[in-house]
Chain A
């Protein structure tokens, strides 16, 4: 009896899902980082753009697992989808699968990824510029002198570029030194960053031991802010990148987060959808990499005056 019930449930699920898939060309969106707010924002923005093109979109998240991501790319290739969109992943990390998709005639577009021979177009921000812009802003906040903590995640190709920008800025500003750093785990990035900063604060108890926290993106910045609040540490400024809505609220609320650099995630998704539409109608992208504009968001730009 239970066997029959299980069978009925499985078949109903499968048939229901198949029926839902019927409308329009199918585009599969895949990412290992959907738990990151900005990746989710890109996926949602792409889905909204896809609706305008009457595409049917399914989103696959592998929770940070690259092996599973490779497998899921193979699956959607086997399903002969009209196109594959990869978000926040350097396609070189799953090169074989991306090349096979291309060989199967399925165009691959990356958003916030990296240029690759098997990819039709990568739409991104210039991550080095993002990192350099945020670093310059953060260093100015501490008078280009002091001690900083770095929260990073080098496995992400874009984040790695931001870290390189920080390395360059540290070389150019010898009065700014790094007293600690932490490789942020994804998913669970806010809590992981908070725990790391908790520990770094305990290890550096003097009031002037840390002047700033450099967060490679906004979620670790939020974690750092939580740790600073819990420790009652004032005088430490935090900056991130992405323009995450929660981070912007915290800037408005006069928290330790003093700035973020907003990436045009929605614009990236729009550009990617437009380029994909061009590809699906037989055209070719304008270039193999396109950039969306960036914007620095600070208390000043938000019109906030803090005590």
Chain B
């Protein structure tokens, strides 16, 4: 029982939430249309949380992921305004994300700047660029339909956003769990000094983890922009704390308590179901926040109860 609670407590809490909402509002919550809604709603957060997971695996934090998401989206829309084709706008957004990630990686892995400080600084610079590029305004005109289709279309009834999420999280999970690179990242996160002693390229791999995080965060920003059809230079910032909350919840779903992609997805799904279900029920916003916080604490406590019992 203890082992079950330890391994599946977080999953149990998620299933309990789904069951609770399905009983309370069966027609609205437990409908196919709402399931498709939910899958679309969690996509951007799931991808940003994946970016955060990459750097948490190597024992670091990246506080710039939300800012990077904003910059990629703003850059794409500014380029649309200048008549650029969709592929170029997307490439520019992704390149900006990778560049920000590289800056983070070099500062942390080569120059030894603590990741909290380095990524906050880079994030602040990035937010300045996004602000400058957008002029502080919301941008929503001249967006090619082929771009918004990335976030709004569906393939055989499955939302395109869901396919993006499956692709990104699937690749990230494979990379972290099955590849040599992923195993090296875990080794660095477990004990960087030991990894260095056995000859692993610690600085290079840490830098690459940040580059991947920047790239993935930029993709999340572009998909959010495609979903909304509008951008604001602050649009990604709200994703930072929920992303890390999801990664932390995700660690409770791992036997060793380490960041992992399936766990991160579970954390995102819990946050998504709570927000979706409580809104459908019509719970006031202050109650929503209290319930969300309480459920996150409960998920972690269940996990701890499993460990200590």
Give the residues from 204 to 246 in chain B that come closer than 8 angstroms, CB to CB, to chain A. 224, 227-230, 232-235, 238-239
How many B residues touch the partner, as a band? Answer: 35 or more
Q: Are B25 and A183 in contact (CB under 8 A)?
A: no
Cα-based distance from A96 to B145 in the complex (angstroms): 12
**Binary per-residue interface labels of chain B (15-52) against chain A in the complex, 1 for a CB within 8 Å, 0 otherwise:** 01100110111001101011001001100100000000
Contact among A7, A64, A155 for B138, CB-based, below 8 A: A155
Q: Are A157 and B20 in contact (CB under 8 A)?
A: no
Cα-based distance from A269 to B152 in the complex (angstroms): 33
Q: Are B16 and A67 in contact (CB under 8 A)?
A: no
A70 close to B (CB within 8 Å): yes
Cα-based distance from A234 to B31 in the complex (angstroms): 62
B201 close to A (CB within 8 Å): no
Q: Are A154 and B137 in contact (CB under 8 A)?
A: yes
Q: Are A154 and B280 in contact (CB under 8 A)?
A: no
> Can you sample 16 A-B contacts with CB below 8 Å?
A2-B298, A6-B302, A13-B291, A14-B21, A58-B282, A66-B232, A68-B275, A78-B31, A78-B280, A79-B25, A79-B279, A94-B230, A96-B227, A96-B229, A154-B135, A154-B136
Secondary structure at the B interface, as helix, strand, loop or mixed, is helix
Cα-based distance from A67 to B228 in the complex (angstroms): 7
A252 close to B (CB within 8 Å): no
Contact among B138, B234, B291 for A90, CB-based, below 8 A: B138
A189 close to B (CB within 8 Å): no
A15 close to B (CB within 8 Å): yes
B101 close to A (CB within 8 Å): no
Known A28-B282, A74-B41; contact A80-B28, beta-carbon cutoff 8 A: yes
Cα-based distance from A97 to B136 in the complex (angstroms): 23
Known A6-B302, A92-B230; contact A60-B285, beta-carbon cutoff 8 A: yes
Q: Are A6 and B228 in contact (CB under 8 A)?
A: no
Q: Are A10 and B16 in contact (CB under 8 A)?
A: yes
A299 close to B (CB within 8 Å): no
Most chain B beta carbons < 10 A, residue from A13, A28, A185: A13
Q: What would 11 more interface pairs be, CB under 8 Å, given A13-B283, A65-B235, A92-B140?
A: A3-B9, A6-B298, A10-B295, A61-B285, A68-B238, A74-B40, A75-B275, A78-B31, A78-B37, A80-B28, A155-B138
**Binary per-residue interface labels of chain B (52-96) against chain A in the complex, 1 for a CB within 8 Å, 0 otherwise:** 000000000000000000000000000000000000000000000
Q: Are A17 and B24 in contact (CB under 8 A)?
A: yes
Q: Are A67 and B285 in contact (CB under 8 A)?
A: no
Q: Which residues in B have their C-beta under 8 angstroms from that of A170? A: none
Cα-based distance from A14 to B280 in the complex (angstroms): 10
**Binary per-residue interface labels of chain B (272-309) against chain A in the complex, 1 for a CB within 8 Å, 0 otherwise:** 00011111111111010001001100100110010000
Known A60-B285, A155-B232; contact A93-B224, beta-carbon cutoff 8 A: no
Known A11-B24, A14-B20, A67-B228; contact A157-B234, beta-carbon cutoff 8 A: no
Q: Are A7 and B20 in contact (CB under 8 A)?
A: yes
Q: Are B227 and A67 in contact (CB under 8 A)?
A: yes
Cα-based distance from A153 to B233 in the complex (angstroms): 11
Give the residues from 4 to 32 in chain A that come closer than 8 angstroms, CB to CB, to chain B. 6-7, 9-11, 13-15, 17-18, 20-21, 26, 28
B114 close to A (CB within 8 Å): no
Q: Are A7 and B16 in contact (CB under 8 A)?
A: yes
A121 close to B (CB within 8 Å): no
Q: Which residues in A have their C-beta under 8 angstroms from that of B280? A: 75-76, 78-79
Known A6-B16, A6-B298; contact A14-B24, beta-carbon cutoff 8 A: yes
Closest to A89 in B: B138
Q: Are A183 and B136 in contact (CB under 8 A)?
A: yes
B12 close to A (CB within 8 Å): yes
**Distance from A97 Cβ to chain B, minimum over Cβ atoms (Å):** 8
Q: Are A96 and B24 in contact (CB under 8 A)?
A: no
**Distance from B79 Cβ to chain A, minimum over Cβ atoms (Å):** 19
**Distance from B228 Cβ to chain A, minimum over Cβ atoms (Å):** 6
